[in-house]
Structure 1
Amino acid sequence: MSAREHILSRLKQTQIPSAAPLPDVAAWFEGRQRNENISERKARLKAALEAVHTEIHEVTPANWTATLVELAKQKGIGQVLIGTDTPHGAQLQATDCPDLKLIEYTQPIDTWRDLLFDGVDAALTLAMGAVAETGSLILWPTPSEPRLMSLVPSVHFVLLDVDHIHSDLFSAMKANHWENAMPTNALLICGPSKTADIQQTLAYGAHGPKELVVLLRQSTGDLS
């Protein structure tokens, strides 16, 4: 028997171990559920986001656009980038805001890169949900609201419905069936962009928006 045949014979005689069983992730999280109501999840999320300099405003379906316009005025914002053909973008366009220019993301980035990077003060995107446990906003980029909207402008307005705050990431993934349609980019945002140098001096806006403003929109059923 040649050396090659000897090696092949040993390989064929090797017992292939059976695959280890997959962990029961659902059972692990089920045993650690907090069983919180919406108000408790909202409180945890707010505390986590505010701890990292996120600005939060509780709004209603009726006044969130007026709140955004007023905040833009206070911050000296002249232009807000909105998505293309989005319901919340249409709501903002229907609001009386003569001093605020709304720019739709309708062109390929190559045709208006200079304006996006140098001429747009802020952007508005809708959050798919949020994770109370980690204080994270879940953004689901689409052709209507590309990822650059949450990365380039200095101020990032995020509209978040209170009903979409989940206790943990697993709950969010399960509720939205992530296993069926994962996007190219699923973003978890935990505050404004920040970095620190070797002397541990913290600076905001180095790699993205220096301000994160969350409009926490309560559901109609919560109004009293």
Structure 2
Amino acid sequence: MSARDNILKRLRERTDGPLTAPDSDFGVVTGRGWSAEERLERFERWISSVHGEVLHTTRDSWTTDLVALLQAKGIRRLALGREHPVAAEARAALAEGEVTLIDADRDVEEWQLEQFETTDAGLTSTRGGIAETGSLWLWPTPDEPRLISLVPPIHIAVLDADTIEDTFFDVIEAHGWAGGMPTNALLVSGPSKTADIEQTLAYGVHGPRELIVLVRHAEERP
């Protein structure tokens, strides 16, 4: 009998009965009760505090703002998916422009050098945001693989304002993460950053140096 088996046997044969899991109180990680306006304000404040950039737009005009953003940032080569509505709308808006659209739904080996050497930015959808930490959460798919948010120097993420929730726990519960997850669920709370032993903070060393969030509202904000 192995050491592991011995330990499990002793646990099963405890004289005071089998172990039971203690009751869990999740109140500390949920129940914030914030309004939609408070969630948005908290999300923007926290993600901006770590050098994330937030631009407000609408569902009707976001692609116009995307075109202006690409021009302002000098982005000429953009990686994006094909099937997701965000990618499809972006492709339609950029079809006649000067930006080269790079297909992301390919085997990584086919465009590995392209990703690391000549891609200016990656555009992704998001599944939602987390107000408490100023985080985005992404659900990578073959159409939008995780590398388009992790490799290019600029990550442009499209977030619908009404998908921001209070806490990470609320996201897990509301969207049934326990019932099925992709191989990678991504939490993004700002551009890539690291610090050396002298605590000098540097951006973009291990991933995007810029994170730009296009927050889409149903209509123009007052």
Q: TM-score, normalised by structure 2?
A: 0.88
Residue 63 of structure 2 contacts residue 89 of structure 2 at CA under 8 Å; is this kept in 1? yes
Shift of residue 125, structure 1, vs aligned partner: 0.7
- Residue 23 of structure 1 corresponds to which residue in structure 2? 23
Aligned letter for 1:20?
A: T
| Matching residue of 1:4 | none
- Tell me if 1:55 matches 2:53: yes
Q: One-letter code of the match for 1:15?
A: T
Q: Which amino acid aligns with 1:155?
A: I
The one-letter code sitting in structure 1 at the alignment partner of 2:203 is Y
| Distance in 1 between residues matched to 2:161 and 2:23, nearest whole Å | 31
**Which SS does the other structure have where 1:98 is aligned?**
coil
Q: Distance in 1 between matches of 2:138 and 2:214?
A: 14
Matches within 5 A, 1:51-130: 51-96=49-94, 98-130=97-129
Q: 2:187 and 2:106 mapped to 1: Cα distance?
A: 25
Distance 1:66 1:164 in 2: 22
Give the AA of the match of 1:160: L
Larger Rg: 1
Q: What is the letter of the counterpart of residue 200 of structure 1? A: Q
SS at match of 1:95: helix
The percent of aligned pairs where both chains have the same amino acid is: 40
1:200 to partner: Cα distance: 1.3
- Measured in 1, the distance between the counterparts of 2:195 and 2:47 equals 19
- State the alpha-carbon separation in 1 of the partners of residues 110 and 116 from structure 2: 12
Distance 1:15 1:154, change over 3 A: same
Aligned to 1:151: 150
SS in 2 for 1:23: coil
- Give the Cα–Cα distance (whole angstroms) in 2 for the partners of residues 16 and 80 of structure 1: 63
5+ residue gaps, structure 2, are 1-5
Q: List, as ranges, runs of 4+ consecutive aligned residues in structure 1 with deviation greater than 2 Å.
A: 10-26
* Residue of structure 1 in register with 2:3 after alignment: none
- Contact 1:69–1:100 (8 Å) recurs in 2: no
- CA shift digits 1:17-72 (9 cap, x unpaired): 4223343345x258x62211111100000000010111100110111111111111
Partner residue in 2 for 1:37: 35
Aligned length: 213
